[in-house]
Amino acid sequence: MLLLVQNADLYAPERIGPRDILIAAGRIVAIADRIDPAGLPAPCEVLDARGRFVVPGFVDSHVHVTGGGGEGGYRTRTPELVLSGALRAGVTTVVGVLGTDGVARSMEALVAKLYGLREEGISAYGYTGSYRVPLTTVTGDPVRDIMMIEPILGIGELAISDHRSSKPTDAELARIASEARLGGMLSGKAGVVNVHLGDAPAGFEPLERIVAPGDLPRTQFLPTHCNRNPIVLEQSVAWTLAGGYADYTTSTVPRFLEEGESSAAESFALCLSRKVPADRITWSSDGQGSLPSFDAAGKLSGLLVGTCASLLSALREAVKVRGIPLETALLPITANPAAALKLTRKGRIAPGMDGDLVVLDRDLKPVSVVARGRVMIRDGQELVSGTFENIDPLEAAP
């Protein structure tokens, strides 16, 4: 079955204008001013996008797909991602991480969840490792994990400058980065290290020391949570001006913002004002991750959960509040993370790319979502749900 998206106001993410888009076997095969369904060689499903923006499916490059948290004990372990949690946010590609807990949250469970999300209809990848050194892996060797486990793109989420990290030495960080690089080279993958930056004043300093000798490029790292405080934000601007990527987290709470965190949209606007190239910035949701707050003694004082939908809030803020053009505001959740992670068929709308599309209304809210050429949400109605989302346990009981 072919899928024809008609009357799209197309952002690819650059502004293209009115176009029709033809998808076959999960890939975009043609984009034209007008494609007549009567002239196609096979039956065609039609999705009318008249009066709406059509943009690439969002790439959320940091999601705790198996759940996260646990900093306040076992009851504070957050739930895993369900399919609708991604689709309602326009996310058609997720990259899974373990995070704080690499013990009760295993790499085996993460890989299984990635395969499960793929079976349910979206694209899913992940990192090997967690906050701690030595790394949590499947095979016992991060290079082998990257090479031999297809969804694994690199190493992460490795914590530095954080009271929850294992305080890796510079030598350990350099070795981990080199192993990720080697695994990526041998497998044709990104081989990056996704680095969690905490609140400690050191911030980027360990990374700056690692890249100083010159043998490892800044693009070997994808540091995240770069908007968590003014010090880290300023360091991230310097990092990107020198050629690196910086990832800004979209999930937040008012208290974090009051304490000095900048929103992802505000951080992007700052970077643009400082002449940071727009293609060096990514956003991720930290979806299903815990949003913990700690008191002066370091004791957990509050806990909320991140969500993929925060990407939409950041997009709307960037366009409607910060005045960033839509084609630029889309970059951190489409083309940029796809390029940073070498997901060569993601993040853009062009012939040969995967058929991942989001139809946005003029308020930048998703009304239809297409993942790998399949309509998952049409005109606000969910056509596809996660395997267990609509099961009532009482009705299913014998």
Q: Which sequence positions are flagged as catalytic?
A: 286
Helices marked H in the chain — which ranges? 83-87, 107-120, 142-148, 170-187, 205-211, 230-241, 254-258, 264-273, 310-316, 326-329, 335-340, 393-396
d(CA 367, CA 88): 9
d(CA 329, CA 256): 23
Could you tell me if residue 63 is left (phi over 0), alpha (psi between -120 and 50 degrees) or otherwise beta?
beta
CA distances for 8 relative to 103, 327, 359, angstroms: 47, 15, 8
> Cis peptide before 393, with omega less than 30 degrees from 0?
no
Contact 90, 311 (CB under 8 A): yes
DSSP letter for 69, please.
B
How do strand 27-32 and strand 15-24 relate by DSSP bridges? antiparallel
Residue from 82, 110, 78 nearest 390 by CA? 82
Contact 26, 348 (CB under 8 A): no
Give the burial string for 16-50 (b: 16+ CB within 10 Å, else e).
Answer: beebbbbbbeeebeebeeebeeeeeeeebeebebe
d(CA 19, CA 34): 7
d(CA 349, CA 303): 38
